[in-house]
Amino acid sequence: MILIDPPLWPAHGRLWSHLVSDSSLAELHEFAARQGLPRRGFERDHYDAPGELYESLRAAGATAVTSRELVRRLQASGLRRRKSGAMGRRVPGRELLRPAPLRAGDLVAVPAMAGVVPPERLDEGRARLKSWGLRVRMGDHVLDRHGRLSYLAGTDADRAADFAAAWMDPEVRAVMPARGGYGTQRVLDLLDWRRLAEAAPKHLIGFSDVTALHQAVASRLGLASVHSHVVTSLGHASPRSAESLRRLLMEPDTVRELFEDGAVDVVVPGRAVGVLVGGNLAMLASEVGTRLSRPARGGIVLLEDIDEAPYRIDRLLTQLLRSGWFEGVRGIVAGEFTDCGPRDEVEFVLEERLAPLGVAMVKRLDVGHTSTTASIPLGLAATLDTDRRSLTLSA
């Protein structure tokens, strides 16, 4: 049923009514579209309708109720959520909304967002997820191949449709892309982020090219996510690495220390408190200037990459520095730079470009394109302490 409350005078001095549904948002959107209300008037669970449309909306079938009754029915239907528990934009540096832990029997959706997916590795990763008691559902186009571009798993529209279908499905509790490789950025602008914000919060898990998605869900949905394996790498993960991801998703209260063995080297001593942000260096640099980029302000930055020569790492860091992406950063954690050339040269580039920022910095964290990678929850507050060689999640 569509409900509308009497017109009122808000602070901006114009008469407005609230139009809601007590059964589903789909019903509400359909009714609003028929009446010519623009989607930009939708606010989480209701439309702000101009007061002059009140009588015409009633004539079209909206039932008039008091404001108190409208709120009561919204709460009873489960459509009204506290702002703190709903997805939406949050300023950089603020801790993001963390989805509820996964439980045995929960459903994980697996879309292909980027490169062509090897079926055998997909099966291995699926088997590992099932061994945790989770159900797994593959996207309709997960094994597609683009007709002309050999590096893409199907068309951009199909990959976007698979992600949107997974995200909007109320049964799905986590989305874990099948693999990385280039292609995720091509679908981001095909997604309706306002519509995606209407879904219940769910986990996004992945690394490498998935960094573009981490940035998007952080900037547009205000949602924390997990930098860790994709499905095709999970089957080859070491037992310890796989277990660290399982605990972070299913037993998060048991995870506080992210440097489990303290095996990092100090570049710049110090202590930093901030929200974890970052991921793949190439993706972060190529997202700068887009509406989905999430800057480092107020954050502890994680960086990793693969197959980037030292001069290209230099160029990527220089782009981030010149664009102002690092302004307000509080700490830096350099992970693995796999197959990027001589380690000493790579580390010199990282230190020469980033140490002058004067914030606490460590290097050689095992996170990135490795089978032993640590799992890092992006969007959560943490403390980096170089004396203790620790990165600890806030309570």
Residues forming the active site: 208, 304, 369
Cα of 251 vs its chain's centroid, Å: 19
171, 200 Cβ separation under 8 angstroms: no
DSSP per-residue string spanning 277-341: EEEEHHHHHHHTTSTT----TTEEEEEEEES--HHHHHHHHHHHHHHTTTTT--EEEEEEEETSS
Separation CA 216–CA 294 (nearest Å): 8
Q: Among 114, 156, 117, which residue's Cα sits nearest to residue 138?
A: 117
Tokens representing 311 are: 């001069």
Residue found by looking up tokens 């359909």 in the block: 30
Residue 177 exposure: Cα atoms within 13 Å on the Cβ side: 31
Torsion of CA 158, 163, 167, 171, to 10 degrees: 80
* Residue among 221, 206, 215, 193 at smallest CA distance from 299: 215
